[in-house]
Amino acid sequence: MRTIMNMAYIPTIGLEIHAELSTESKIFCGCKNAPNESQPNTLICPVCLGYPGAMPELNKEAVKKVLLVGVALEAKKLGGDDGYTQFDRKHYFYPDIPKGYQISQHLFPLVADGVLRGVGKNGVAVARVHLEEDTAKSSHDGEHSLVDFNRAGVPLMELVTYPDIHSAEDAGAFGEELQLLLKTLKVSNARMEWGEMRVEVNISVSNNDTRGTKVEIKNLNSFKVVRDAIAYEIERQTALLESGGTVVQETRGWNDATGKTVSQRVKETAAEYRYMKEPDIPPFFISTYNFTRESLAQELPILPYVKRKKYIEEYKLQSTQAESIVRSPQASIVFDNALTYTNNAHAIKIANYLTSDVLSYAETLGDTLWNFITGESLGKIIELIEKGTLSSRGAKEVLAIVIKEGGDPLTIAAKNNFIQVSNEGELLAHVQKVIIDNGTVVDEYKKGKVSSLQFLVGSVMKLSKGSANPQKVQELLKEELSK
């Protein structure tokens, strides 16, 4: 933190985060909601394109998804005091706004006054979450600009925090925890690289009790960029004030190449949007759609911050392991189901194989990692280890096949000769051969070099192609070497 006259410049940060909702259809029409999967301008209709006379019809599922987020955020209000909510027209002109206005919510958002747990000691306060339509997507190629309206009308959730964040790290952590929550609730895929989640930052710095002039940084598309942009802007504003300059209220963008924010335009005020009540969508009460806080709460899964605490306190996982599992909703499902299969036994061993082996394939396989591996199959592998049917090495071999091809672990082990050999007669032949072939090492062991025993165990394991039971091998070696 920069200081001047022994007074620290403290940043004040608020976030505005947009997330596309994963509904089947768009928010106000029946067009398919798949803006990233189709040819340009194929998922459109008169409503998407803003044709005169085209009447919007509200997607009930989009409303429900935002309300689920609200309940997960422990929101004090779902709608207004009596559950009332309405849509409003937000007027501004861009080529990707087909109507010349966006249907959004201004005065009566679906959700107000919540908190996102799992960030900091007590969470971060959330001012509001409202529902609106996404814009079309512009692309630029030299002298030409193109507009794809497939994204126009995709249901978009906007969450606004209170300005209670004071560091780049905490802002990034908030975004990551929100992304995880949205995925856990299955309300959004929230893939930033696909534009399904976008972050805007409002930031000011001050060295007294009066907040500084707010600057907005728009369209940040990764959490690294969020942290970098905030860190740079803190330095920029602080240096400007130290030199006697004035911070201008404006909208800035992030330049990845230079690692700096750049001025884009003077910030609009709310009045310039000329908000007005949307005449084509009647206002309604939350109860109109038979949504209640109680019924929505019953649909919530275990939330990430609750699950994280349970893994550490009840199952005794290391915090890093718990975080790795919780950060992947699919991994969390596999972990929970594996625990169920083993009757809540072997939690640490399940976590070890899941974090060190299964998740190691995530970078190469992506989402296809979860096509075959299940909690039941992982649980079966753990039980085979516990019974001595599989060695650690054999378990890893079976797990690799299950991840890539699927199948029953025991069948795979038998087919590929991974089943651990504990039969004394079969193992004894390997032990005796290793003793004969390694006379020098045997002599060292007999003279007191205890570590030589591990070399001999490894040699037997190699000879058996990893199928020998190492504990049994060690017992047989000691017995043979004592003769």
DSSP codes of every residue in 412-452: HHHHTT-BPB--HHHHHHHHHHHHHHTHHHHHHHHTT-TTH
**Cα(183)–Cα(171) distance, rounded to whole angstroms?**
19
**Cα(262)–Cα(232) distance, rounded to whole angstroms?**
11
Give the CATH number of domain 424-481; options: 3.40.250.10, 1.10.10.410, 1.10.357.10, 2.40.128.50.
1.10.10.410
pTM of the predicted model as reported, rounded to 2 decimal places: 0.87
**Cα(31)–Cα(23) distance, rounded to whole angstroms?**
11
**Cα(57)–Cα(49) distance, rounded to whole angstroms?**
14
Average confidence score pLDDT of the chain:
92
Tokens 């625990």 belong to which residue?
339
**Cα(234)–Cα(250) distance, rounded to whole angstroms?**
15
**For residue range 11-66, what is the model confidence (pLDDT) as tens digits?**
999 999 999 999 999 999 999 999 987 799 999 999 999 999 999 999 999 999 99
CB within 8 A of 31, min separation 6: which ones? 25, 43, 44, 45, 47, 48, 153
DSSP state of 175: H
More confident site: 383 or 93: 383
CB-based contact 373:402 (threshold 8 Å): yes
Average pLDDT over residues 61-73: 98
Where do the structural domains in the chain lie, given as residue ranges? 3-295, 302-415, 424-481
pLDDT band for 4, please (50, 70, 90 cuts): very low
Structure confidence at residue 313 (pLDDT):
95
Half-sphere exposure of 330 (CA within 13 A, CB side): 13
